[in-house]
Amino acid sequence: MARSWGRLLARIAGYLILVLLVLAALAITFTVGWRPVIGAKKRALTARKFEPTPERLRRGDYLVHAVMHCMGCHSQYVEKSNPPALASKEGSGQVLFEEGGFRIVAPNITSDPETGIGKWSDDAIARAIREGIAADGSILFPIMPYEHFRQLSDEDLASIVVLIRSLPPAHSDLPLDKIPFLFARLIQAAPQPVTEPVPAPDTSTPAQRGAYLVKMATCSDCHTPLNSKFQPIPGMEMAGGNPLGEVHSANITPDASGIGYYDEALFLQTMRTGSVRARKLNLIMPWWIFRNMTDDDLKSVFAYLRTLKPVHHIVDNTEKPTLCKVCGQKHGLGERN
């Protein structure tokens, strides 16, 4: 039942794996020389506890269900439901990607003590989310976006842990990851301990508020195109073109070829309905999660997007794919760039 949505995600996952392999390989060559041999950076767990206050529960609920799309990976959805409807208990996990000797599983993060994370301490959950280390000290594959989540403020982190702990337990036995030896060594470069306090983000202007939300929503993972070495193409931040299943991500910079013609009202409508006027967006774009953001937050995201450098890059998913010399992908109207 839930296969099709899973496959959709699997395609993203497959794509990200490639990206990460290369990034990790580069990182090893240039920066972290011996990490794959001597093991990942990690800190010891502390006894800290996050008091489950109603404020934290509310904030955690909002971050998890409106901004950070944890459940896009950690839950299964009914095939072809639009917007996606849960096919199993929320947070009970799924196999994200499986091919050949490779399997990546988004684990059960409900409070089930056997198959979930019911026995993990608060700090173990916190360390997994922001630093990429599981309770037993093993390394999480960086498809789990801990490299973005590292900048999550301490209070927001506490709120997410409180929310995750409140999820009803679901018993769900999933297979283990299968990560080829070389990958398993390479990803040792990804985890970074967070040992300093992370203060609340700067929220003095709508654009500053938006910058934090955009980081936590990992918009750039899908919207910033990569070169043949799988590195972000300099000067093309959020300019789109990344292949994601049947579609390519959109140029969301303020250029005329991007979303320069949007006003705030059209942006809110698009993020709430998944349609740009009559044109329906593919479900790979997690509008069905972002639609839960408040008007104020969506307006802040829009304000931040307006501060990006306008990049001329035509990407049109309604047209036949042709080679684009700007991003190197084959996408709709690529020949016009």
157 binds ligand HEC per the rule CB under 6 A: no
Our CB check for ligand HEC shows the closer of 45 and 276 to be 276
CA angle 36, 48, 157 (to 5 degrees): 70
CB atoms within 10 A of CB 203: 12
Q: Point out which span in 17-25, 76-84, 166-174, 212-220 binds ligand HEC (CB under 6 A).
A: 212-220
Q: Judged by CB under 6 A, does residue 244 bind ligand HEC? A: yes
| Binding segment toward ligand HEC, per CB under 6 A, in 50-58, 106-114, 195-203, 225-233 | 106-114
**Sign of the dihedral through C-alpha 101, 107, 113, 117:** positive
Amino acid letter, 186: L
Q: Which residue has the tokens 């579609």?
A: 247
Among 35, 69, 148, 165, binds ligand HEC (CB under 6 A): 69
Rounded Cα distance, 137 and 210, in Å: 34
Cα-Cα end-to-end distance for the chain? 40
**Interface pick for ligand HEC out of 87, 217, 268, 303 (rule CB under 6 A):** 217
Contact between 226 and ligand HEC by CB under 6 A: the answer reads no
**Residue type (1 letter), 304:** Y
Distance, in Å, from the CA atom of 205 to the CA atom of 201, rounded to the nearest integer, reads: 11
What six digits make up the tokens of 195?
A: 């040992």
What is the C-alpha separation between 279 and 73, in angstroms, rounded?
26
Angle at 266 between CA 263 and CA 268, to 5 degrees: 110
* Only segment of 36-44, 228-236, 284-292, 320-328 that touches ligand HEC (CB under 6 A): 284-292
Assess contact for 213 and 293: CB atoms under 8 A: yes
As given in the structure block, the two tokens for residue 129 are 């989310």
Q: Which stretch binds ligand HEC (CB under 6 A): 26-34, 61-69, 81-89, 227-235?
A: 61-69
Which amino acid is it at 158?
A
Binding status of residue 311 toward ligand HEC by CB under 6 A: no
Min dist. Cβ of residue 81 to ligand HEC (A)? 17
Residue 95 burial (10 A CB sphere; 0-12, 13-18, 19+): middle
| Residue 281 in the binding site for ligand HEC (CB under 6 A) | yes
Using the contact rule CB under 6 A, the part of the chain among 21-29, 47-55, 81-89, 103-111 near ligand HEC is 103-111
Work out how close the CB of 309 gets to ligand HEC at its nearest, in angstroms, rounded to a whole number. Answer: 16
Question: What are the residues binding ligand HEC (CB under 6 A)?
Answer: 12, 64, 68-70, 72-74, 96, 104-107, 109, 117, 125, 128-129, 134, 140-141, 143-145, 160, 164, 177, 214, 217-219, 221-223, 244, 247, 249-250, 252, 259, 270, 276, 281-282, 284-286, 290, 301, 317
